[in-house]
Amino acid sequence: MSSVYGCVCFAIPSKLLRKCAEKAGSVDCQGLDSMAARLRTQRNAWAGPVHLPLLLAPAQPAPIKAAYRRAIFDAGSGTELPGKRVRNEGDKPVRDPAVNQAYDNTGITLDFYLKMFGRNSIDNRGMRVESAVHFGKNFSNAMWTGDQMIFGDGDQNVAGFTAALDIIAHELTHGVMQHLIPGGLGVVRVPVKDREFKEQTHALKGQSGALNESFSDIFGSIVKQWHGRQSVTQANWLLGEHLLAPEHGLAIRSLKDPGNRKLTWYEDDQFKSMDQYVDGADVHDSSGIPNHAFYLAAKKIGGFSWEKAGPIWYEAFEALKPKASFLDAAKATSRVAGVRFGIKSKEYKAVISAWQAVKVVT
């Protein structure tokens, strides 16, 4: 399944990295297109599935044993994968903080999906979840490759990623999505630009691709709130806080106010409603529309985002088709809210009004 999906999903959009590099006077931003091709080519030679990591915070209940298996590898600043195995499921912490953060934070996200949705690992079949830390030299990203998680240590523009719970949960959710919807939501084949690699790789395109990104943003935010026991009013709804160097901004995206550069970074141009939407836009920009719809619905429902709003979105997205539109998502979430709570409920009305507010429905 993962080989069919084949989408290399980066934590930080290449546009943002390029802008940061330009501002800092850096030479480049690690050639993400070439890296995607290399990762996909390497993946074809790997024997088994691979996956993710996450961050520490207030203690959660102990993981349910045997529900999942984790394995952490050290790439040693190289790009050969999987690297040296340094920690397995049940092993004691090691001296390397990145390894321990990857291990512990993987468990937080897996615990969330298990306890909230009864999901047994990424594929719901107990697959082993693997992560490679210290990938590349000054590699300024983290990514889901379709098979595993990979973490760079960052550079002068971007910090390391193993402590970023919401971003890691975002990436892991791409893995969940590839198993929820066969073929992937919004996944299309695109040519590889690196001459050394003749294969095609995959990318997210159109409104369906934006929905894929949005689903990951939403559940990345929910996992962070769940772990910190934050209500919808207590949460700041920012993704990727503290990853960027101070001169570049405060966060990667905001679900509460997409495109607000005072909250995120200096050239954030995420869309907030269909008034701004343009066909062919970057999926990280257009994902702001369904992101904001979820925020508005969750805020109006109140309480904790994982109790009602999150389950509505999870059940609705599971039923979407690979080429679903924003309108399809609006109809699906409204339908689920109506079935779960009734068409006269505040939950149903909150979902409807949220999609109206972002002008997906009238």
**Out of 134, 202, 248, 284, which one is annotated catalytic?**
284
With beta carbons less than 8 A apart as the criterion, state whether 328 and 320 touch: yes
- Residue 284 annotated in active site: yes
Cα dihedral 15, 138, 10, 359 sign? negative
| DSSP β-bridge partners for residue 151 | 142
Q: How many residues does the chain have?
A: 362
Cα(5)–Cα(82) distance, integer angstroms: 19
Residue among 154, 122, 127 at smallest CA distance from 141: 154
CB 268 within 8 A of CB 253: yes
Cα–Cα distance, 355 to 351 (Å, whole number)? 7
Active site residue 241: no
**Burial, 125: exposed, middle or buried (Cβ in 10 Å; 0-12, 13-18, 19+)?**
exposed
Catalytic residue among 171, 213, 241, 347: 171
Tell me, what amino acid is at 202? Answer: H
Burial of 128 (0-12, 13-18, 19+ CB in 10 A): middle
Backbone Cα Rg of the chain: 19
Show the DSSP H helices in 229-325 as ranges. Answer: 283-286, 288-301, 309-318
CA–CA separation, 319 vs 181, rounded Å?
8
CA atoms within 13 A on the CB side of 171: 35
**How many Å separate Cα 317 from the centre of its chain?**
15
Question: Can you say how many angstroms the Cα of residue 73 is from the centroid of all Cα atoms in its chain?
Answer: 21
Positions annotated as catalytic residues are: 171, 284
